[in-house]
Every structure is written in structure tokens, then in C-alpha cells.
Structure 1
């Protein structure tokens, strides 16, 4: 059910709409080295396969998980020989490029720099943190976004109508609320959505007329639990904790509780959340409410004492308190100002009237 052309590709209009740079480069077969980053199921590998069909260059695929140094050197040497003997260019697609260590990524660098090969790297991580900076600087970086509910519903309808590569040979009658449920709970992940659709169709008994009735109940069973896009070391981790803190700072209690629930649901370390609340109580509330910091400390002790799943209750209690409390960053900002002054100017000596006078000072020393 993968798209075979840019016309079939759903989503990512911000980089693939007619007239956009990436689309023009693909259609003209003048693609430079690019890095595609984005959450799972947004079309990174599919886009690379479409490029493979459209290009006149030799298309080679490597896996950041499976490919070793010997295989990489073989591909790189073949690319150099190809351009020398026939003039044909080579595009090397590296799926999950963030799994390559620095040595492996460095193998690609000289040939990317010389033009012997063009790189397409795909990653779910921030390439500025996980991909060799020299490779990033020689590539165009494009961010793929999660698909909207409407785009996922379009994919569902296409899959049900496609007899060649989809589920068109099955007589499926899908309820509107079932379609919407699959699309909403897939969190923008097309792969998750289509896998759940296929599972539901293939496991639901047909009626006497041969039709498969795809109901909301079937959708709920097929997708099971919402696929929360979250990883404890990547962008989603930092983006979500940032949203949590900024919601508390803005006194958005509903928003802060939502982000707290998302982190807990995704398996975030509850101790980490408690530490962030302690920091927030001192940094953002500070002098405005002297009770905030003791409450945060008590929350940290409480979550250690009760553990999960009950730890979520004191965390929610503390989050709500921090949202409702008045805010004052004077102490934090005063410290930051003093630190900046110390770092940028000559350090002042302690004035005489502030020195320790308990011990006699020898004036000759």
C-alpha cells in the first residue's frame, strides 16, 4: 500500500507541494544530499523509494541497524568506480542513520563532499544532535510532520479501494466513527493506522453476504492503545517536558495536566518529573509563594515512597498547585544577572567591612 509516485504521496505539503524545493529537485533528478527527519510513519522510507523509481542514478540502500563497515566501504567504492567509468551518479539511502556511529558516518563524508555519491539519510531523531555535523552541513535537512486525521482517513479509504496492493478485494463496509477512531488514535503514524486497518479486516468474520462490517468496536480492538509518539532520549522527551513546564508557567492547568498524563502514559521516569517540579517551584514561583518549594519537595518524597502507579496522584496535585500559584522569578533572574556580571567583568574583592574580622590580620603579609 506504499505510494509509488509523488502524486500518490499523502501529507508533507510543506516540502512536497508543487513548486516546493524538494519536489522540484526530485522531479528534475537534481537531488542534493538530504536528511529526512520525523516521527515514525510519516513517509521517510516511502519518499526514498519514490526517489529510487524516478532517478537515473544508481540507488543503493544501507541500514543503520544492519549494515557494517565492510558493506559501507563496498558501496562507497562502487559509487566512486561507477562515476569514473560510466559517469552514472549514485544515491545512497541510509535508513535509521542515527544508529551509525561516528566512524561509520565518517566513511560517507569524503565521497559526499567530492560528489561521488549523494546521501539520503532518514532518522526519527534530531539530526543536529545524532548525525555527524559535517554530513549535516553538506545536506539539506527536511522535517516530516505527523499526518493529520483527515490525511490518515484518506489513506484508509485508498487502502480499502485498492485491489492490487490494498484491501480492495475484501468487501469492507466501514463505519465513519470506526474510520475516525483509527485515524485519531494513530497519532499521525500512517504505518500504525494501516497495520491496524489490515488486522481488523483480516480478523473480522464476513457476514452472510460476504461483507466485512468494520465497526467502532473492531477499530478499538485493532488499534488497542493510543500509540503515543514519545521516546525518553529524543526530541519528544524534551519537547513534552518543555510543554509541561511552559504550561505551568502560563498557569494553564488543563494543559499541564495533559502533558503530565502523556509523559506518565509513555513511561517517563516519575522521578524526573518530580525533579522538574522542584526546580520550577524555586525558579518560577520563588518568593511569590513560600509554600510551593516545600510542597514540591514533599511531592518528590511522596513519589519515591509510593511508587507507580499511585505516584501520578501527588504529581498531579503538585502540578495543579504550581499552575495556580503566583509567579515570581526575581531570585532566579538576580542570580543569572550576578553570574553574567562575574563572567564578563573583573571579579571584585571583598570590601573591608564585609570581611571576616574574627581573626587578627598581619598587615605585613
Structure 2
């Protein structure tokens, strides 16, 4: 690998503001350019995120962060780990990186033209090679540790409606072998062919049960779409068309948002909406291991109709003295029972349940909409919780 010179480092760092200003224009053109030359790669990239612009924006932010920290790559450690897990879940391989690099640099030339000189392009070529090697190395370790390689056929052995929006799919290996292990909090990618797009599409779903080797369970929210968002292609296919007996193709579990099972200190699991899915895996694991750790399970959703795992959570709290359940309903329904289905009306407010969630030496796991997690994190930090004890999961591709 060619090392960056001091001059090249300075050139890359100096162009960081260019990506701050023009990055999304460059990355949108990059994806169009690459897909025109390699349409088969549409099977890897989320085409809904392409249309919405969220994927180009994510890439533009990643490129900017890399350029701005080119002389201090240690600052990117967490981002590299996060993206490596996403890539490994999507079966991104070393041979994909030269394609991406060629078209990304080509897009820079197409968009910026004479505004970027050849020495700067040469610097970026070396910088990209450096980044590609970092990612390839990180992903190689994940592939080596994975339970299987690529996408493996699983049969839907059970389909269970959990709420008006969420349905669980119990997936058993089609060959009858073990489903393998995973860490609670991890996710898998599932691929389905989407007629409207004419390509296979992968989507990542958190595992929602404890690891035991017999099956993997994913619990999928049906994304109906709103005025500002498209309906979810794959989630709707899974809900409407995938029945018991269907074969789906699944990647090995990945993800760095995982429960620390070695600790004996308290655990606080806080979720909003479909963010409950990795939390059920964490809680089910703690209960299966007969953990004596003090556990608080705090969940917020609109009402009982969309509250997945409601009965299981209530039973679990009744059967395990070390588990405290706290549920907030934003808009209580006519059939929702206070003290049975939910505990508080309104949005999750830590100030109303401090005695249950502010536990000494606890680790806090947050999952849900970004605004939800930001609010809860700020509330915890304001009450003196060490940020290092707050762990978050954001649903999304994060793909370079």
C-alpha cells in the first residue's frame, strides 16, 4: 500500500470543506455513475435510500469525516467498526472497493472539473486506497468470526403477528443444521426480490430472541409510508407475501450494539417503537441465563395496538423479581389498561421514573428514532450518567 506523503495529507485535508459544500452532489452522481457501469450492484445497495437521498448524504458525511481526520484516523475508530459490520452484513467484498474508488474519483472530476488539480486527485486516490485497506481488514476479521459466509437459505418455520405493525418471522436453516450463535443486539440482512425495482434488495433486521441455535427470529415493522417517505418495499413483501415454508436468504449476524454479558451490574433497556426488537433479545438472553442483574425495561410507543411483545413483557416482569417494566403510551387507546398494558401516558420522561432507571453503575442501551435516543441520552447525561455507559443503535445502512 502506498503511504500518503505530508503534501498529500495536506491536500486531502484541505478539500474537506469541498465535501462539506458539494459532497452530496458528488455522491449522488457517483451512485448514478457506478450503477450505470455495474447494474448488478443495485442488488447490494438500498434503492429506496438512493431515491430519498439518504444514502448519498450518508456517504458524503463519511467522506467529509475521513478527509477532515486524515491526519488522525484514530478519531474514526467507532465509525469504521460500525460501517464494517454493516458492510459484512451486506456481503461487501474486497473486489467491490476498486469499483467504488474508480467511480467516486470519477464523480469528483465530473462534478468539480478544473476546480480540482491532478496532484489533489492523486492524493485522494492514495487516501481512498488507504481507507479501502482499513475497511477490508476490519471486514475480514468479521467474516472469519461469522457463523457462515454470504447469504444462507432459511425456511420460515413460524410467522407471528406481534402488533398492528410488527410481525415476527422464525427462521430455521433450510439444511436442518444449527442456526448458529450471535450476540444479543445484533442484526441480520434478509434479501427479497422487489418487482417494482427489478432487483434483489437486502434489509437489515435486529434479532429479537435469545441465541439458542434452533432458529433466528426477526420482528419486522411494516413501513406503510407517509407523506414524506416511501412505503417499505421489503417490509411489505415480508408481511404480505412471505408465509410459513417460504425460503429467505439471510446473512450471518453482525453489529457492535451488543449486550455486555460479562458484567453483573444493572442493565437499563430503553426503546421507542420498533426499537424494542434488539431489547427483547437482550432481555430474553438475561432471563434465559437466569441473570441476577437488576434490569429495567423502559419502552415508549403510541398505544397498545402497536405495542409488540406486550404480554410477554408483562409475564416476564411478574415472574422475575429483578425485572422492572416501565411502559409509556403517547396516545392511550380505549382498550388500553393502566397498570396492565402501560404505566404512564405521554412521551417517555426519565424524570417520572428516576427511581427505576437511575441505577448505580448501570449500563444503558437505547434504540429507537434518532430524536428519541438523543433526548434520552441528554436526559441521562444531565443526571450524571457517564456517556461511556450509554450505548445506542441507529437503524440505517451507514454504508460507504
Q: TM-score, normalised by structure 1?
A: 0.27
- Tell which structure's C-alpha radius of gyration is larger: 1
Larger strand proportion of the pair:
2
The higher-RCO structure (CA 8 Å, 6+ apart) is 2
Larger helix proportion of the pair:
1
Q: TM-score, normalised by structure 2?
A: 0.25
